[in-house]
Structure formats: C-alpha cells, structure tokens
Structure 1
Amino acid sequence: MRQLHARFYALFAIIAALLFSGCANVHYANDYKSGTDFNNLKTYSWRAVTVDIGGTDPALLERLADNQLAAQGFVRTHDKPDLLLDMQVFARQSKGGNSSIGIGIGMPIGRNGSVGLGTSQLLNRGKQEGVMLIDVTRASDNTLIWRGSAEGIPLIQFSLSAEQKLGATMAQLLGQFPPATAP
C-alpha cells in the first residue's frame, strides 16, 4: 500500500512540475542584419535604458547586461564605441489564453449516470508578463544590426530578491549575440 502512495505522490509531483513549468516559459528570439561582420565589433556604450516596470532599477539591468557582455569578450567604453546599445523593458498583457465552453456527459453505468454543463477558462488569461528588448546599433553608420527579445518573463523576476533569475534571463538573451550564423 505504501508503494502505491509513493507512486501516486511521485506522479502527482511530476504532473505539477510540468504544469508549472509550462506556465513560466520565457520565449527568446533574435534577428540581425544579414551580411554584417560582427568579428571586429568589440566595444560598446549604452545609448538608452528604458524601464516601465515599477520598482525595477535600470542601473541593475545595465549592470547585468554589462556582466554578460564582458563574459562574452565585449568591452564597455565611452570613447568611440563600435556598438550602441538600447534596452527597453516593459510589462504587457500575456499573449495567448482564450476561453472555451466545455460540455461533459456521463454515460449511465448501473443505476447512476450524470450530465454536466460548465465553462472553462485558461488560468493565465489577463496575466501580466515582462518583455525585454535589446537593440544593437553599429555606431559608425547608426545602423541597427541586431535585436534580441525575451518575452513572457514573470514579473516576480523584476523584484530585488530575484536578481539571480533576472541575471539568468539576461545571460540567455545576450548569449544569442553575436549570432552564430554571421560571417
């Protein structure tokens, strides 16, 4: 009997983990100007950091990005940088999530049967999520050469106690720069 309970709890834990991980997926994407040679671009400077999520320090986001870029071999400078960076961080209504109507019918087995009508609605409808956009512009001709985005960031990651999670999100986003398929 104990083995049955242990298996039930293990199965329940696995299902719960899958459900919760499916709700908090951050989607990363990037795009770049084809034909751009990223090999000789090693220095950068910040042009603008705009944060529209209350309680989030733009200097923290800039520092997290600086740490990741330094780990990738980029150097921040104020004198004639190769690249200019812009970051926008904002909250928006989460994408997806629709409502539906469900109908359940129970077939009679023995003397008991049932018919039920009900509605269902996805739990994440109307939920807020964070979005982070980073634009990389070539300073010599002011041409946008790379854009990266992270969407679906849980807003709790923008709290002071979640700096490590926000750093991991920043690392994942900037880890895509420069693009691997660039010449």
Structure 2
Amino acid sequence: MKILKFLPLAALVFITGCSSVQVASDYDSKTDFNNYKTYAFFKEGIDKTEISDLDKKRILNAIDAELTKKGMVKSANPDILINIFTKAQQRVDITQNSYYSPWGYGWGWNPYWGSTYNTVSTSVEGNLYIDVLDAKRKELVWQGVGTGYITKNREKKEARINEFVTKVLKDFPPKR
C-alpha cells in the first residue's frame, strides 16, 4: 500500500526526465558577433533537412521569434545565414526489476524465493542543429545542438519545438 503513495512522484520524475532538452554550442572565437544585426535562412541547406515541411515551418517560426527577441532583423541582404538539420534515433531502455520475499513458499523464512523481470521501453530521441554562417564569408561561425525526446502528438509538437529552439539559441550570440 505504501508503494502507491510513491507512484505519482515516480511518474513526475519520469516525465520531467524525459522532457528536458540537453544543449551544447560552439563558436569561432575570432568572430565579432556584435557586427551581426540581420539574418536570413539558408534555403539550400534547409531544403535538404529530412523532416516534414510542417515541422520545418514550426522550427523556422520558432527561430524567427527567438532572433527577433534578440533584436535581429530578417533581411534580403543578411549578415548571417541560418541553417538547420536534424537527426533522430530510436532509443531502447531495458530495466531489470527484482522482487524477493523473505517468506518464500510454505512456513518460515526462505532467502531464495523471488522473481526477476525486465521492462522494455522505446522512445525517439532527436537532435536539432542550428548553424549560423557568416553570409559574406560563407563560413560556420556558431553551432548549437539540442538533444531530447520528440513527440508525435501534434498538439504538443509545437510547444516541444519551441522549447528546443529557445534552449539552443539561449547562448546565441555568445557572451565573452
């Protein structure tokens, strides 16, 4: 009966653990990011990204919103070009669970009675890469990547994509 009290807490920890997005970024330390005020999307690169056009649109809208918050302006003659690409992999988790009872079968204590069973769960883990290229030099100057679980639920997908983009672009432009 006491175990039932802990199930909601365990479910909350599981859901919270699955919802986080891990991010990392890297950049060219010789680049002066203060010179970048305008941006555009790198169409040739984005067209090669192997996700649905709807998801591309969601990602690009989220990037637009984040860059606008940072004071950048979309332009036909940009300072930087934004490219995206994605990767997804199936993740399989196997957990071994054991249960032992000190009472065993019959009368008295029996240290060998119990059972072991495995729990198998699968999920899709995805990576969203956001590249920033210097438009004049056509060189990569900053890259951010977010790694986390992705959902197939259409209603939650936009919120999840916004979370990915917000967290990836949090450290752009880099502070020195």
Deviation at 1:105, TM superposition (A): 5.1
The change in CA–CA distance for 1:173 and 1:115 in structure 2 (over 3 A counts) is: same
Structure 1 counterpart of 2:65, one-letter code: N
TM-score by length of 1: 0.75
Q: How does 1:112-127 map to 2 (within 5 A)?
A: 112-113=109-110, 114-121=112-119, 123-124=121-122, 127=123
2:161 matched to 1:163?
no
Q: How does 1:139-154 map to 2 (within 5 A)?
A: 139-154=135-150
Backbone CA RMSD of aligned residues: 2.9
The change in CA–CA distance for 1:134 and 1:14 in structure 2 (over 3 A counts) is: same
2:25 matched to 1:37?
no
Q: Is the 8 A contact 1:130 1:155 kept in 2?
A: no
Q: Is the 8 A contact 2:39 2:72 kept in 1?
A: yes
Q: How does 1:123-134 map to 2 (within 5 A)?
A: 123-124=121-122, 127-134=123-130
Distance 1:118 1:166 in 2: 39
Name the SS for the 1:64 alignment partner.
helix
Deviation at 1:14, TM superposition (A): 2.3
2:3 matched to 1:25?
no
Distance 1:17 1:46 in 2: 38
Residue among 77, 80, 83 paired with 2:80: 83
Would you tell me which structure has more helix in proportion to its own residues? Answer: 2
Q: Give the aligned length.
A: 169
Name the SS for the 1:28 alignment partner.
strand
Q: Where in structure 2 are there 5+ consecutive unaligned residues?
A: none
Q: Which runs of 4+ in 1 moved over 4 A?
A: 99-110
The change in CA–CA distance for 1:102 and 1:58 in structure 2 (over 3 A counts) is: closer
The change in CA–CA distance for 1:20 and 1:164 in structure 2 (over 3 A counts) is: closer
Name the SS for the 1:39 alignment partner.
helix
